[in-house]
Amino acid sequence: MTPTITAFARSPDRGRGLARDMRVRWALEEVGRPYDVRLLSFSEMKEPAHRRLHPFGQIPTYEAGDLALFESGAIVFHIAERHAGLLPDDANARARAITWMFAALSTVEPPIVDRSMAMVLERDKAWHAERLPILEDRVRVRLGELSNRLGDAAWLDAAFSAGDLLMVTVLRRLTGSGLLEEYPNLAAYVARGEARPAYQRAFADQWAVFTGQSPTGR
């Protein structure tokens, strides 16, 4: 059964692939599953019809038959659990990959989102100039720790996994900040993720939504 995901009709990232539907698109491409996309305006996201799918009025959602899910992490996990390619077979390696999924979303992403939110929502506040370096230092703490752990490895725990997929998309939210570039091994790690054919197909499809062209035919 072909699942349907939701995405922004007009992504605020202007097609840079930073919205959270990108994670689900990429996961589906990694495992070679087709999917349909339903685009939503900002007002549609907050209407009762969408709230029934997603209580927090966000994208993405995932519908397949009588199953409806929200939360990009949960959707990526659902895909990874059902199709080969995103989680290792070995039980311990699988548990560690899942740990990196949670680490990406619970430990690394929050300070990155805080910085982004301050750039958008608090830019006109008197405190913004003084507070921004504090936020950036909080991001640097996590990037430094992640950089130390990654070292010169290609991926966080041996083979590419859903943990890397989420971590790369989290780190990509720093695009344009200059912070990622302070950690060359992390910048190379993100580039390694972006170079994967599945990533490129997913990126092209979300870019086609932004530019209003029809998605790449597959």
Interaction site with its own copies (CB under 8 A): 51, 55-58, 66-67, 69-75, 77-78, 92, 95-96, 98-99, 101-103, 105-107, 109-110, 113-114, 125-127, 130-131, 142, 145-146, 148-149
Minimum CB separation of residue 19 from its own copies in Å reads 15
Q: Cα(104)–Cα(77) distance, rounded to whole angstroms?
A: 13
SS3 call for 177: coil
Minimum CB separation of residue 102 from its own copies in Å reads 4
Minimum CB separation of residue 189 from its own copies in Å reads 14
User: ∠ at Cα 25 (14, 182), nearest 5°?
Assistant: 60
- CB-based contacts of 30, cutoff 8 Å, min separation 6: 85, 86, 165, 196, 198
Please identify, using beta-carbon distances, which residue of 14 and 46 lies nearer to its own copies. Answer: 46
Minimum CB separation of residue 109 from its own copies in Å reads 7
SS3 call for 7: strand
- For residue 187 the two structure tokens come to 């910048």
Please identify, using beta-carbon distances, which residue of 60 and 209 lies nearer to its own copies. Answer: 60
